[in-house]
Amino acid sequence: MTIATPGKVWFVGAGPGDPELVTVKGRRLLGEAGAVLFAGSLVDRAVTLYAPAGCVIRDSKDMTLEEMTAWLIAQAAVHGTVVRLQTGDPGLYGALIELARPLAAAGIEWAVVPGVSSAMASMAAAGESLTLPEVTQSVIFTRVEGRTPMPAGEDLASLAAHRTTLCIFLSITLLHKVETALRAAGWPDDSPILVVHKASWPGEEKILRGTLADIKARCREAGVASQAMIVASPTLGALHWETLARSKLYDPTFTHRFRKASA
């Protein structure tokens, strides 16, 4: 049975792993969905439990891009709401545009519901901050070159030269390249490094702290070789620093439109 007009395909960010970190809107759409295509290699299947009884649920881990788009188009012909459930945020290291182009060409409406990135979840799990006043106000999301090449000018050594927070995705098996790039950019061996495996996954999360000199050995000892976020940042460990620059927003000596300086 087909519907009068094609349904709408929603690209929903499943978040980093914890089913409770799906957004309220994402959960609502899952509850309305007639069909859900989820990335089973990365998304906890528990998220699909928000889908209603009778919903068509398909794991995409064994599918090509062409098979995925054909499936979404076919399901949109019979269901008003179709969900493509992607890990983290759909727009970050996903095939969002590659999947959306055939939908648009077929006249199928689509939209994106953002999700919590593993970068945020990893720092939250470790009790760390991506930015700190007068330390760094910039965050770089990147990866090192593997089978997927990096565009010109985006090699890790060049980005690391900024000495800001680096959230390094999809690179745990290439940790030796991460180390080489950071050293080439002038990061000393005692630079703090954080690795979080399966951030927020109930019962599976591992938090590893080390330095540029020993983080590879710590990962090897912990058996962490997949689904891990690497963070190199001058903010790491700030909870235990003796001094910390204050945020101007909450400083009593700072005036802004909601409060006059009290000192």
**DSSP element (H, E) containing 86:** strand 81-86
Closest to 197 in 3D by CA, of 229, 165, 237: 229
126 and 233 fall within a common domain: yes
The CATH number covering residue 177 comes to: 3.30.950.10
153 and 88 fall within a common domain: no
153 and 51 fall within a common domain: no
Is there a domain that residue 13 lies in? yes
**DSSP element (H, E) containing 102:** helix 96-105
With 0-12 CB in 10 A as exposed, 13-18 as middle and 19+ as buried, what is 85? buried
Asked whether the predicted pLDDT for residue 42 surpasses 80, the reply is no
Is there a domain that residue 169 lies in? yes
DSSP string, 24-77: HHHHHHHHH-SEEEE-TTTS-GGGGGGSPTT-EEEE-TT--HHHHHHHHHHHHT
85 and 193 fall within a common domain: no
140 and 108 fall within a common domain: no
pTM of the complete model: 0.92
DSSP 8-state class, residue 121: H
141 and 34 fall within a common domain: no
- For residue 86, the model assigns a pLDDT of 93
> pLDDT per residue over 151-190, tens digit each?
999 999 999 999 999 999 999 999 999 999 999 999 999 9
Confidence class of residue 263 from pLDDT cuts 50, 70 and 90? low
The answer to whether 8 and 82 have CB atoms below 8 angstroms apart is yes
107 and 17 fall within a common domain: yes
Show the domain range for 124: 118-237
107 and 152 fall within a common domain: no
Q: What is the share, in percent, of the chain residues with pLDDT greater than 90? A: 83
- For 240, list phi and psi in degrees, rounded to 5: -105, 10
124 and 229 fall within a common domain: yes
> pLDDT per residue over 107-139, tens digit each?
999 999 999 999 999 999 999 999 999 999 999
Number of domains forming the structure of the chain: 2
Is there a domain that residue 38 lies in? yes
Confidence class of residue 261 from pLDDT cuts 50, 70 and 90? confident
Query: Which of these three, 113, 130, 150, is where a domain ends?
Result: 113
Is there a domain that residue 261 lies in? no
Is there a domain that residue 252 lies in? no
Closest to 115 in 3D by CA, of 92, 95, 96: 92
- For 126, list phi and psi in degrees, rounded to 5: -90, -5
The answer to whether 134 and 57 have CB atoms below 8 angstroms apart is no
Is there a domain that residue 233 lies in? yes
123 and 232 fall within a common domain: yes
67 and 134 fall within a common domain: no
Asked whether the predicted pLDDT for residue 249 surpasses 80, the reply is no
Is there a domain that residue 49 lies in? yes
102 and 160 fall within a common domain: no
The CATH number covering residue 108 comes to: 3.40.1010.10
